[in-house]
Amino acid sequence: MFKPSFNKPFGKPGERKKVKRDPSKKKVFKKRPCRFCADKVKNLDFIEYLRFQKFLTERGKMVPSRISGNCAKHQRQLAKAIRKARIMALLPFVAE
């Protein structure tokens, strides 16, 4: 009768085989256009909090620019406006 032996080491603990990926098969992501640039918005104000509620998750976290597609300039303005709206109690800090 054959008994498998489990005492043989399969390598060092935590060691994995490194698989090199083909550099010609890179994932290419299409950059989303900034909504605020498309609407030609100069400044974001915290009073217009309904405009940027779609840039918050259900839990109340800000959506990163790589997901929302905002440019760096408008993402900074958006973050500042969300913070001000939270302080003015227009937006919640966390979801209930």
Tally the C-alpha atoms within 13 A of residue 21's C-alpha that lie toward its C-beta. Answer: 5
Tens of pLDDT, residues 54-81:
899 989 899 999 888 999 999 999 999 9
Bridge partners of residue 56, in order along the sequence: 62
Report the C-alpha gap between 70 and 54 in whole angstroms. Answer: 12
Domains of the chain: 31-87 (4.10.640.10)
Q: What is the pTM of this model?
A: 0.66
